[in-house]
Amino acid sequence: MRRRAPLPEGEEKARAVRRLFDTISPRYDLLNRLITFGMDAGWRRRTVRKLALAPGSLVFDLASGTGDLCRELLAAGHRAIGFDFSHGMLVAARTEAPLIEADILRLPVRDDAADGATCGFALRNVVSLEALFEELARVVRPGGRISLLETAEPHGRLMQLGHRIYVCRIVPAIGGLLSDRDAYAYLPRSAAYLPPVEEILAMLRSAGFADARRIPLGGGVTQLFVATRA
Ligand SMILES: C[S@@+](CC[C@H](N)C(=O)[O-])C[C@H]1O[C@@H](n2cnc3c(N)ncnc32)[C@H](O)[C@@H]1O
């Protein structure tokens, strides 16, 4: 049996993640729609709604990718700025929002600059979740809001079995047909980077988001972390 290489850590992980998204960027949107059966659009709308910020608020979208969350933010009447470190994803982006090529662990903005922040499907990709949450606490003003969307493992053995077969077998097969099989095999494996929910909530609270809570979405295959900057 072929032994799988261990998941990369530290700077090696950052380089691998950037390379992966540069590679899959041209067909990222198509694959997203297909593998989520189009449900990702509703999850993103919910992410923006749960910010519960007044129209006109300045919202940073961290790891903005091809700009889907930026588009939702603009549609809700917010001012959005996207940040991502994959040049390929930024080139493939379709949004009117300004986009900045930057590492979301070191945002090139002053303290308390934003009224809120979103992040879609990137918690597992960063080198350090604590560093990300501290950076969010630095750039979001007191009273500002965050809404972070991420995949999740559903409850119940049957749901878990079906979900595992889907993400570990079917998703890589679709990726292989339409994009890059290795990349779409890595994405489900990268869920292993996510600590348990209670740990994520504890990290958010200690970073300065005292009321952090989790909302399951899509029957438990996705989750949203929402919080207010204390
Ligand atoms: C799964 S994609 C999500 C894109 C978009 N948010 C969405 O919802 O479709 C993850 C994105 O995170 C970006 N990313 C990961 N780590 C990053 C970091 N440290 N700094 C900036 N962008 C990062 C990748 O380049 C990629 O575009």
> What is the tens place of the pLDDT at every residue in 170-208?
999 999 999 999 999 998 899 999 999 999 999 999 999
Please list the ranges in the chain whose pLDDT falls under 50: 1
Long-range contacts of 155-161 (CB under 8 A, 24+ apart): 155/220, 159/219, 159/220
**Per-residue confidence (pLDDT) for residue 3, from 0 to 100:** 63
Distance (angstroms) between ligand 1 centre and the Cα of 142 equals 25
Distance (angstroms) between ligand 1 centre and the Cα of 65 equals 5
Question: Torsion-angle region of residue 104: left (phi > 0), alpha (psi -120 to 50) or beta?
Answer: alpha
**Per-residue confidence (pLDDT) for residue 223, from 0 to 100:** 98
Question: Torsion-angle region of residue 199: left (phi > 0), alpha (psi -120 to 50) or beta?
Answer: alpha
**Per-residue confidence (pLDDT) for residue 2, from 0 to 100:** 55
**Which numbered atom of ligand 1 lies nearest the CA of 69?**
8
Mutate to test the pocket of ligand 1, among 15, 17, 95 (most ligand atoms within 8 A of CB): 17
**Per-residue confidence (pLDDT) for residue 98, from 0 to 100:** 98
**Per-residue confidence (pLDDT) for residue 4, from 0 to 100:** 72
222-228/140-151 β-pairing: antiparallel
**Per-residue confidence (pLDDT) for residue 60, from 0 to 100:** 99
* Beta bridge mates, 114: 140
First to last CA, the chain: 51
**Per-residue confidence (pLDDT) for residue 6, from 0 to 100:** 86
Q: Which residue minimizes the CA distance to atom 15 of ligand 1?
A: 125
Q: List ligand 1's pocket residues with C-beta within 6 A.
A: 14, 17-18, 21, 63-65, 68-69, 84-86, 89, 103-105, 120-122, 125-126
**Per-residue confidence (pLDDT) for residue 187, from 0 to 100:** 85
